[in-house]
A and B are shown apart, each in its own frame.
Chain A
Amino acid sequence: AQSVTQLDSHVSVSEGTPVLLRCNYSSSYSPSLFWYVQHPNKGLQLLLKYTSAATLVKGINGFEAEFKKSETSFHLTKPSAHMSDAAEYFCVVSDPNQAGTALIFGKGTTLSVSS
């Protein structure tokens, strides 16, 4: 069975400071891992994905995540937060080897950015 745990339900940062959203996963095989962002009243947007090609993954809008197998972690970071980054973020795990496999979402982390 697969699962993800997002360690913080809410993270608050000031504009221009670093962002760290933490995610741990559980999987019995080498998983695919994703981060999605959801802005209010908008659809889920893929930020980045890990597919075993490289452990440090760069995504859109300056976000990146590092896959650490020994720690079973896939934390999302950004060097400098922007007001437009305020949104809900989901860490997601999937089995890349099964056809039509559903994505397994964490409960989400709400990122607030203050000026």
Chain B
Amino acid sequence: GAGVSQSPRYKVAKRGQDVALRCDPISGHVSLFWYQQALGQGPEFLTYFQNEAQLDKSGLPSDRFFAERPEGSVSTLKIQRTQQEDSAVYLCASSLAPRQTYNEQFFGPGTRLTVL
């Protein structure tokens, strides 16, 4: 069955360039999360959508980071004026319902962003 997909899988950007990362969640999943995973670290929360509503963006590290999910399915994470510290793997995860007894999230393969 189709899982969470992300594109591109790899992205190299020059410092100052804008990038857009795409996430296709599992069909019918209401909740969508973005995480950032720096080298050698565990993923860290960036932002959360319930359908098209962005309910939590407390993890976004700066105002250069912007995420949207306009139709409640595909989501895009945009990073403006990329900096070297933005280099990381960006993970997308989806879950079926906003409220679950255990909040299981299904992860995509990630986009590895390298900023030169």
Contacts and interface: CB of A to CB of B under 8 A. Distances in A.
Counting chain B residues whose Cβ lies within 8 A of the other chain, the interface size class is: 20 to 34
Contacts of A105: 42-44
Contacts of B42: 90, 105-108
Given A96-B103, A107-B41, A102 B59 contact: yes
Interface string A77-97: 000000000000010001110
A32 interface: yes
Contacts of B93: 44, 103
Contact of B98 (A34, A45, A100, A108): A100
Nearest to A90: B42
A84 to B, nearest CB: 18
Contacts of B28: none
A43 B33 contact: no
Contact of A102 (B41, B48, B50, B104): B48
B50 A49 contact: no
Interface in A101-115: 101-108
Among the interface residues B35, B43, B93, B109, which one has the most CB atoms of the partner chain A within 10 A?
A: B43
Given A51-B102, A96-B102, A100-B33, 4 more contacts: A51-B101, A99-B55, A100-B55, A102-B48
Interface of A: 32, 34, 36, 41-46, 49, 51, 90, 94-96, 99-108
24 contacts: A34-B104, A36-B107, A41-B109, A43-B3, A43-B4, A43-B91, A43-B107, A43-B108, A43-B109, A44-B107, A49-B104, A51-B101, A90-B43, A96-B100, A99-B55, A100-B98, A102-B33, A102-B48, A102-B59, A103-B35, A103-B103, A107-B40, A107-B41, A108-B41
